[in-house]
A and B are shown apart, each in its own frame.
Chain A
Amino acid sequence: MSQVLIKERDIVIPGQVLAEGLDYLPGENTYRKDDKIFANVLGIISLPGRVVKITPLSGPYMPTVGDKIVGKVEDILMSGWRISTGTAYTAVLNVKDASSRFIKSGEDLSKILEIGDYAVVKITKVTSQNLIDLTMREPGLRRINGGRIIKINSHKVPRVIGKKASMINLIKDNTGCDITVGQNGLVWLRGSPEGEILAEKAIKLIEQKSHEEGLTDKMEKFLHENKGNIVVEKKFRREEGEESQNEESFSEGDQ
């Protein structure tokens, strides 16, 4: 006699019994003990078939290979940089992964990335002890100039980007900002001062309402109501064409 005790999209707390009997399988963030399946974190249930999974609603960012993140340069090492990722673990960006240009030995590394700079980088390697290797040698990865950095919960990143980057493009089109969302929850905005403020408000609102349905429509309404006299220059967007190609890599994380 197997039975499932929760519904799709239910909010469950750690230790809650999700299913009884052996007909169901424990998925992400759940575990089986005897013939019951228990929740491991606070989150929303998804029930694809006979697997019980939980999408966490909060919690630390887990570094994953292939993630594009926004990091801050903490220290300059012998042959690279130590970059903070917004988690308990710092990452290392080696000189050879920093630039396609040849960097001579003995060159002043602070000319390329200075302590305190932010950079858009990609994770290339994560060990079992969560030591992280980075690269900056791909299109769209670079040092950050100007604009502002805001921090959101890393679990809300897929919602901020939206299906096929729909949500992030909506904000870009309405605020005229250039936006880069790091999977670690750091977001880089650059545009006119009013545009940046509106974009920041919009992203914070998405973070707050991320578990609701029909969010894109709500955000469209919010942006139109608060747009005011922000002029979106079409030219600005086209210049950033290189940037929008990289949105493809974001859409993998869609919910």
Chain B
Amino acid sequence: MAYTKRLDGRKNNELRPMEAKASVVPNADGSASFKIGKTWAIAAVYGPREIFPRFLANPKTGIIRCHYSMMPFSGSGERIRPGRSRRAQEISMVMENALNPVIDLSAFPNTVVDIFVELPQTDAGTRCAAISAAAIALADAGIPMTDMVSSVAVGQVDGTVVADLMYNEEAYPAIVSDVPVAMLHNTKEITLLQMDGEISREDLMKALEIAKDATEKVYQEQMKALQEKFTKTEQK
């Protein structure tokens, strides 16, 4: 029996409802909240600031440092052990790699921009939500960026190529794969591509086609969030 109808009735290339907001953490230099379905990421950006430990400093450019963390209550009842885990460290690294190509900190040598992402609630696609939130927060912090990064997961559930998998789909009792993709808006360059599960070559190519449209939708939401910040205060 093939996976013809999605569990929540979405179309195959349809994303869960999104909600993005800029400047949610007043203390930070830039911040954002990004929700996609039940997955919710809050990003806060500090810097450019002095770098500690000093040996990480690069005299030619500033660097970025990501800290990804799921909150203890963010799963579905099971307490998630806070702090650094192997998984959190890996995701922090892939986030850095996904965001680095657009960030230009050459005017700020020997500094660091710290990006903290916390997830109060998760339902698959957390690294994608984290990257999308971090991109809004970086723009909000006024960091020079050549392009916007938007991220969404695509994949295959029992032979059907779908976009933005939720946890129940990832756990579907069949051959499933989950492919998180981060794409730059203008050039459509891919800055994050991972894969968990099994997928055929044809399905992967199909999934990446879907990812193009899907990241575009995320981009529209990110753009709206950044512009709304200023139009909303104007009405006050």
Q: Does B177 contact A (CB under 8 A)?
A: no
A56-97 near B? 1/0 per residue, CB < 8 Å = 111110100000000000000000000000011100000000
Within the complex, the shortest CB–CB distance from A29 to chain B, in Å, comes to 7
- Complex: A249 Cα to B102 Cα, angstroms: 36
Q: Does B39 contact A (CB under 8 A)?
A: no
B109 touching A41 by the CB < 8 A rule? no
Q: Does B29 contact A (CB under 8 A)?
A: yes
Within the complex, the shortest CB–CB distance from B68 to chain A, in Å, comes to 22
Q: Does B163 contact A (CB under 8 A)?
A: no
Q: Please choose the segment from B78-86, B117-125, B145-153, B166-174 that sits at the chain A interface, where 4 or more of its residues have CB less than 8 A away.
A: B145-153
A129 touching B110 by the CB < 8 A rule? yes
B91-106 near A? 1/0 per residue, CB < 8 Å = 0000000000010100
Assess A211 versus B234: contact at CB under 8 Å? Given A17-B186, A58-B29, A88-B49: yes
Of the candidates A14, A58, A88, A212, which one forms a contact with B47 in the assembled complex, judged by CB atoms under 8 Å apart?
A88
A59 touching B143 by the CB < 8 A rule? yes
Assess A42 versus B148: contact at CB under 8 Å? Given A88-B47, A208-B233, A211-B230: no
B108 touching A130 by the CB < 8 A rule? yes
B234 touching A40 by the CB < 8 A rule? no
- Complex: A57 Cα to B231 Cα, angstroms: 13
A15 touching B109 by the CB < 8 A rule? no
B142 touching A59 by the CB < 8 A rule? yes
Of the candidates B62, B107, B139, which one forms a contact with A42 in the assembled complex, judged by CB atoms under 8 Å apart?
B139
- The residue in chain A whose Cβ has the minimal distance to the Cβ of B145 is A14
A40 touching B145 by the CB < 8 A rule? yes
- Give the total of B residues in contact with A, Cβ under 8 Å: 37
B222-236 near A? 1/0 per residue, CB < 8 Å = 110011001101101
Contact partners of B236 in chain A: CB under 8 A: 209
Interface centre among A14, A29, A43, A155 (most CB of B within 10 A): A14
- The residue in chain A whose Cβ has the minimal distance to the Cβ of B226 is A13
Q: Does B15 contact A (CB under 8 A)?
A: no
Assess A60 versus B48: contact at CB under 8 Å? Given A13-B226, A14-B102, A130-B108: yes
Within the complex, the shortest CB–CB distance from B79 to chain A, in Å, comes to 37
B50 touching A88 by the CB < 8 A rule? yes
Q: Does B197 contact A (CB under 8 A)?
A: no
Interface centre among B108, B110, B142, B144 (most CB of A within 10 A): B142
B146 touching A42 by the CB < 8 A rule? no
- The residue in chain B whose Cβ has the minimal distance to the Cβ of A88 is B111
- The residue in chain A whose Cβ has the minimal distance to the Cβ of B107 is A62
Assess A15 versus B234: contact at CB under 8 Å? Given A38-B146, A60-B142: no
Contact partners of B47 in chain A: CB under 8 A: 60, 88
B197-224 near A? 1/0 per residue, CB < 8 Å = 0000000000000000000000000110
Of the candidates B48, B111, B148, B234, which one forms a contact with A14 in the assembled complex, judged by CB atoms under 8 Å apart?
B148
Within the complex, the shortest CB–CB distance from B223 to chain A, in Å, comes to 5
- Complex: A15 Cα to B101 Cα, angstroms: 12
Assess A57 versus B142: contact at CB under 8 Å? Given A14-B102, A88-B49, A129-B110: yes
Contact partners of B109 in chain A: CB under 8 A: 129-130
Contact partners of A14 in chain B: CB under 8 A: 102, 139, 144-148
Q: Does B176 contact A (CB under 8 A)?
A: no
Could you write out 27 A-B pairs with CB less than 8 Å apart? A13-B139, A13-B148, A13-B226, A14-B148, A15-B102, A15-B147, A15-B185, A15-B186, A31-B146, A38-B186, A40-B104, A40-B146, A41-B142, A41-B144, A42-B140, A42-B142, A42-B226, A43-B142, A56-B142, A57-B230, A60-B29, A60-B48, A88-B108, A88-B110, A88-B111, A130-B108, A130-B110
The 6 closest A-B pairs by CB, nearest first: A59-B142, A58-B142, A15-B147, A14-B145, A88-B111, A15-B148
Identify the A interface with B (CB < 8 A).
11, 13-17, 29, 31, 38, 40-43, 56-60, 62, 87-89, 129-130, 155, 208-209, 211-212
Given contacts A42-B142, A155-B142, A211-B234, 20 further A-B contacts (CB under 8 A): A13-B222, A14-B102, A14-B139, A14-B145, A15-B146, A15-B185, A38-B146, A38-B186, A40-B144, A41-B143, A43-B142, A56-B142, A58-B142, A88-B108, A129-B109, A130-B108, A130-B109, A209-B233, A209-B236, A211-B233
